[in-house]
Structure formats: structure tokens, C-alpha cells
Structure 1
Amino acid sequence: MKILVVDDMISMRHVMLHMLRSLDYTDTDEAPDGCQAFDLLQRQHYDLVITDYHMPKMDGMALLRAIREDERLAKLPVIMVSCEDEKDKIKAVIQAQVTDFIVKPFNQETLAKKMKHVEQLINPDICIV
């Protein structure tokens, strides 16, 4: 599974990449904002995007909307990561068809559960335990 990790904080990207590698997801790329992420999505194939909500230039919500509006990318799974607790913003993310949501702070076990959920969506015929 090829995964794009998007976060403006390099330390958070590295934590996420480390967790993913520990879970045997090694085919990863990273981007510091939604603009660069969307550019990468136009040029390469990804199976999943994990993006932060709050970022400069293009935040996670704008990235999610751009993905859903792009015919080629519309069905791409997107996991949003955020410490956001404002109900209206969370509802907007759900209405924009986010695949899953991770609340910061989180641990590797939480990430593993979300990854299993995404894998089940991508490959519904495979039983993942």
C-alpha cells in the first residue's frame, strides 16, 4: 500500500512515518502541506492519504475537498488527523466524505486499527484479523 503522509510539522510526519513502518507500511511519501500533497497526487498513484487538519497554504479540509472533486482521486481513502474538537468542523469533515478520523494525541494501536479499516475498504474480500 502506497501512503502519502501530509503534515506541516516535520516531527509529526516523522512520528507517523515511524509508526507506519513499525506496522510494516514502508511504501510512504510525505508532504508539508495540502498544495504539495495534491501536486504529488496528480503525478503518482497512492492508495491512502493521511493528512493533518490544520496546515498553512492548503489545510486538510481543502485537500480532502480537492481529492473528492477530482474524478481520478474521488474514491481515494483519506484519514484526517487532528486535535480539532469543534463539532461543526468535525461534521464538515464527515460531510466531505473523510474515510476515517484520528484524534490527537494517538498511539500506534489506534493507527493500526484505522489502517485495518482502510485495508478492509480497499480489499473487502480479504479477512484482516
Structure 2
Amino acid sequence: MKILVVDDMPLMRHVLTNMLRKLHYDDIVEATNGEQAFLFMQQQHFDLVITDLHMPKLDGKSLLCRIRDDKLLSTTPVLMVTCEDSAQTVREIIAAKVSGFMIKPFSLNVLADQLKKIAKVAI
């Protein structure tokens, strides 16, 4: 499974990448913002995008909307990661057809559970 990890904070990308590797996911590409991520997605195939919500240039929700509006990318699973726990924000992201949602801080088990849920839907 090829995974695109999108976050403007290098430490968070590092944490996510290490967690994914512990779960035996090794094909990982990192992007620093939504614009870069969308460009990468147009150049290569990803089985999953894990993105932060709040980022400069293009935030996670806008990235999700671009993915869902793109004919070739629309079925790509997107897992949103954020420290935002506003019910309104969560509803908006769910309405934008996010595949999964994790509130920071999260554990390895939470990530593993989200990946299993996304994999079941993809089958």
C-alpha cells in the first residue's frame, strides 16, 4: 500500500511515518502541504492519503474536496488528522466524504484501527 502523508509540521510527518512503519507500511511519501500533495497525486498513484486539517497554502479540507472532485482521484481514501474537535468542523469534513478521522494526540492502536476500517471499505 502506497501512502501519502501530508502535514506542514516535520515532527508530525516523522511520527506518522514511524507509526506506519511499525504497522509494516513502508511505501510512504511525504508532502508539506495540500498543494504539494495534490501535485504528487496527479503524478503517481496512492492507495491512501493521511492529511492534517490545518496547513498553509491548501488545508486538509480543501485537499479532500479537490480529491473528491477529481474524476481520477475521487475514490482515494483520505484519513484526516487534527487537534480540532469542533462538532461543526467534524460534520463538515464528514460531509466532504472523508474516509476516516483521528484527533491528535492518537495512539498506534487508533491508527491501526482506522487503517483496518479503511481497508475493509476499499475491498
1:39-93 deviations in Å (ceiling 9; x for gaps): 0000000000000000000000000000000000111100000011222111110
Give me the CA root mean square deviation.
0.6
Aligned length: 123
Q: Distance in 2 between matches of 1:60 and 1:95?
A: 14
1:49 and 2:49 matched: yes
Offset at 1:98? 0.1
The aligned counterpart of 1:127 is none
Identity across aligned pairs (percent)? 51
Mark the structure with the bigger radius of gyration: 1
Residue 99 of structure 1 corresponds to 99
TM-score for both structures, normalised by structure 2: 0.98
Amino acid at match of 1:12: M
Poorly superposed stretches of 4+, deviation over 4 Å: none
Unaligned runs of 5+ in 2: none
How does the TM-score come out when normalised to structure 1? 0.94
Distance in 2 between the 1:87 and 1:116 partners?
24
Q: Distance in 1 between matches of 2:70 and 2:80?
A: 18
